[in-house]
Structure 1
Amino acid sequence: MGMYKILLEDSIGYDFTLIAIHGSLEPYYLAYLLNKNLEVRLSRTREDLLLTQYDSTTRYPCFEFNDKQQYIDYYVFSNKSKVAINSEVSTGLFEAQQSLKTAYFIPELQQVDYFIKVIEDGNAFAKAKTLKTLNQIPQIVTAYDVDVNALKNKEHLIFE
């Protein structure tokens, strides 16, 4: 009698496109520029993306658009957020000092300001055309495709 060997794949397939954006813009202004140039209708989500970092909950602003015609979902979110850290050292008159620290949604890409996550059903999303359009916006320094499989904290990107 033959033996059968079952191989289980341990990795999750990430079937979305992730685009990094560099540019020091306010989140609402970036959403406005993307709406104007990409012909989407991004709107602020009811709840921000939340991560627990530095013993506190960090909020990252998020915008979304669900294109029901082409079956494409767009998510635009910030990579940087400020977190108030309580110092444990007593400094005399005040019991504890608070300091602001920058937290990153994807820590290995600290130079990135925003991400666009595009989930598609089929081949309707034109990545090259979108990147070309993003790089032509004067307020955006640069935009490029990110290899999701190379990221250490890719679990943060699983949300909807």
Structure 2
Amino acid sequence: MALHKLVVDDFYDTSFSLLAIHCELEDYRLAYLLNKHLDLNLSRMDRDLDYKYFAASYSIYEWQDIENETTWNLVSNVCKREEDSLQSSGSLFTNQNKVLKTFYLLPEFKNVDYLLKISDETLRFKEKKVLNKIQSIPQVITSYSIDVEDLKSKDNLIF
């Protein structure tokens, strides 16, 4: 009897580019500036990305360029959430201390503020040109391309 083995990793297609953006702006301001400088039409999606059993949610903006068969996604890499600390004070009265926890969509890039995912089926996307336009925005500190093949947490980018 023959034994057949199915490797699921073969089905994962990385037909997208991923750009890292370092920026201190709020997500809606960055989306506005990207729309203005790159001639996009990013708009906030109805639901945020929720990971780790709703412990972390990341804002996401999307635009589907039907003419060029390209989908643009701007997603926050950082989620800061205030939680109650689990410390026993040993006293009768509870002392509620709050702890600020930080979660990352891509933990291997903790210093990246935003990610720009460009899904391009036709391979007409000019990455260098887009990077130059993003870096020309005065509020953006820097931007660069991320190699998707080397990411350990690339499953977080499936949305």
Give the TM-score normalised by the residue count of structure 1. 0.88
Q: How does 1:8-157 map to 2 (within 5 A)?
A: 9-11=7-9, 12-52=12-52, 56-91=54-89, 92=91, 93-94=93-94, 96-157=96-157
Cα deviation, residue 33, structure 1? 0.3
Q: Which runs of 4+ in 1 moved over 3 A?
A: 4-10
Q: Work out the CA distance in 2 between the residues paired with 1:85 and 1:105.
A: 19
Q: Work out the CA distance in 1 between the residues paired with 2:113 and 2:156.
A: 16
Q: Work out the CA distance in 1 between the residues paired with 2:3 and 2:133.
A: 49
CA contact (8 A) 1:89 1:96 kept: no
82-91 or 43-52: which moved more?
Answer: 82-91
CA contact (8 A) 2:84 2:96 kept: yes
Cα deviation, residue 115, structure 1? 0.3
Percent of aligned pairs sharing the same letter: 36
Q: Work out the CA distance in 1 between the residues paired with 2:79 and 2:5.
A: 41
CA contact (8 A) 1:72 1:118 kept: yes
Number of aligned residues: 154
Question: C-alpha deviations, 1:111-137, integer Å up to 9, x for none?
Answer: 000000001120221111101111111
RMSD: 1.9
When residues 34 and 18 of structure 1 are mapped into structure 2, their CA distance, relative to the original with a 3 A threshold, is same
